[in-house]
Chain A
Amino acid sequence: MKPSVLHALCMLVLVLAALYTAFLYAPTEVTMGEVQRIFYFHVSSAWTSFLGIFLVLLFSIFSLLNGSRAWDIRAAAAAEVGAIFCSLVLITGPIWAKPVWGIWWTWDARLTSFFVLWLIYMGYLMLRRLVELPEQRARLSAVFGILGAMDVPIVYMANRWWRTQHPQPVIAGGENSGLDPAMRVALFVSLAAFTSLYFYLWRLRCGIEELQDSGDALHRQFQSMS
């Protein structure tokens, strides 16, 4: 499952392109200034976080139905990489928000949902750490992965409905409204780069876990021989 050289090269090219378009190609935003450039990486991280939890859901379902170790590895790797990107969302968001909105945080639907998503990722990873037997770990984390992933859209919708019942002051217009074409290019390149990076890291992680498994198997073989 190790990522191929071609994948690594594509990923590198995309990441460099994203850095170029975000910092040099895209124009500076009128009201927000240079700090707005975080937006490209923030939105891309958010996208990969959602991708991650969706993959956790998918691989968890396959893991339960199929029972093979391969799907469990994929689910765990998807969760680990997704958790990193989710943490990045929660870090880059306030960095951008403080100079622009004047506040570090607000409890609107999107931010709250991302916080809950992060907590679900952490719960999943903690659960994996605390279960000893591999087959049991696979099944239990798959069950929680499914429950947690199904919970995320419900939390988002609940918060959105709640907020429309209690209207909050409008903070900012939608980011994508009236986006300069050059900015749109930067955003798409950044999305592509982060997606490629996600899958690169995911395949690396799967490869490490498979190596670990082969190592353990060899160890057991050696022990049974001696």
Chain B
Amino acid sequence: MHFLNQVGAILWKDILTEFRTKDAIASMLLFGLLVILMFHFAFEPDSLETEKYGPGLLWVTFIFAGMLGMNRTFAGEKENDNLQSLMLAPVNWGAIFTGKMLANLLFMLMAETVILFCFCVFFNVNLGPRLGWVALITFLGTLGFASAGTILAAVSMNTRMSDVMLPILFLPVALPAVLGSVESTAAALTDPPGEALGFWLRFLVVYDIIFITLPLLLFDYVLEE
């Protein structure tokens, strides 16, 4: 319970900090909507094309918007030497990672909910009965992004060009999650849901397990000075 208390405390701290300014969520949301606009100008998909490319467009939007939010994970901590205070506190460093990861997950999910809604409105997509599956896929995919992204945000915060390094380090590692999310979303939206849905959901779960365990093992080494 002690570990969970620590996680809860760090999560609550991040939520409080974020909701004072709402910087990350607002910028993620706006950026996501801008990306949707760009896609309209770039592709102008009709309804058939939306069905075919929709899941891909949606997840590209999610990942680009999400990266914006992840940058701020540790940026704020570095500014006021908060990170050192956090490290010196009697907190299990794994709890720091878990708390920050859950905070990222929460903010990304909040932005993604609105982006998904706008996506359905702008491209006339009817999720209807599939909403449950899409929600599950969004959660699993975002969980993988949040986990890999949090540790890589910690890695890139120590570099000279931290904003640029995060996408460079994160995107190759996040690729399987993108593929799994897009394919399962596409499978969920076909009528009836294809058997591929089960396969890609399991794939996402395995990816999440691997890329939550590895960062938990490695996070201590990233924080060390």
Query: Which A residues lie at the B interface, using CB under 8 A?
Result: 64, 116, 119-120, 122-123, 126-127, 130-132, 136, 139-140, 142-144, 146-148, 150-151, 154-155, 158-159, 161-162, 165
| Contact yes or no, B180 A147, CB < 8 A | no
Contact check, A147 vs B159: say whether CB atoms are below 8 A apart.
no
Distance in angstroms from A217 CB to nearest chain B CB is: 22
Interface flag for B60 (CB, 8 Å): no
B159 A127 Cβ-Cβ under 8 A: yes
CB-CB < 8 A to B19: which residues of A? none
Q: Does B176 contact A (CB under 8 A)?
A: yes
B67 within 8 A of A: no
B155 at the interface (CB under 8 A from A): yes
Among B151, B155, B180, max chain A CB count under 10 A is at B155
A123 to B179, CA, bound (A): 20
B222 contacts chain A at the CB level, 8 A cutoff:
yes
Tell me the smallest distance from the CB of A170 to a CB of chain B, in Å. 21
* Chain A residue at minimal CB-CB distance from B218: A143
Whether A130 lies near B159 (C-beta < 8 A) is yes
Q: Which residue of B lies closest to A126 (CB)?
A: B168
Interface residues of B (CB under 8 A from A): 148, 151-152, 155-156, 158-161, 165, 168-169, 171-173, 175-176, 179-180, 183, 196, 199, 203, 207, 210-211, 214-215, 218, 221-222, 224-225
Q: A64-B221, A131-B158, A143-B221 are in contact. List 4 more A-B contacts (CB 8 A).
A: A127-B169, A151-B176, A155-B172, A162-B183
22 contacts between A and B (CB under 8 A): A116-B172, A116-B175, A119-B168, A122-B168, A123-B168, A123-B169, A126-B165, A127-B165, A127-B169, A131-B159, A140-B158, A143-B151, A143-B155, A143-B222, A147-B151, A148-B173, A150-B210, A151-B176, A154-B176, A158-B180, A158-B203, A165-B196
Q: Is the interface of B mostly helix, strand, loop or mixed?
A: helix
**What 5 pairs across the A-B complex have the smallest Cβ distances?**
A130-B159, A158-B176, A119-B172, A130-B160, A143-B218
Q: Which chain A positions have C-beta within 8 A of B221? A: 64, 139, 142-143
| CA A213 to CA B207, docked complex, whole Å | 39
Q: Are A155 and B175 in contact (CB under 8 A)?
A: yes
| CB–CB B179/A144 < 8 A | no
Q: How far is the CB of A41 from chain B (nearest CB, A)?
A: 26
Q: Is the CB of A136 within 8 A of B225?
A: yes
Q: Report the bound CA distance from A162 to B156 in whole Å.
A: 31
Chain B contacts for A126, CB-based, 8 A: 165, 168
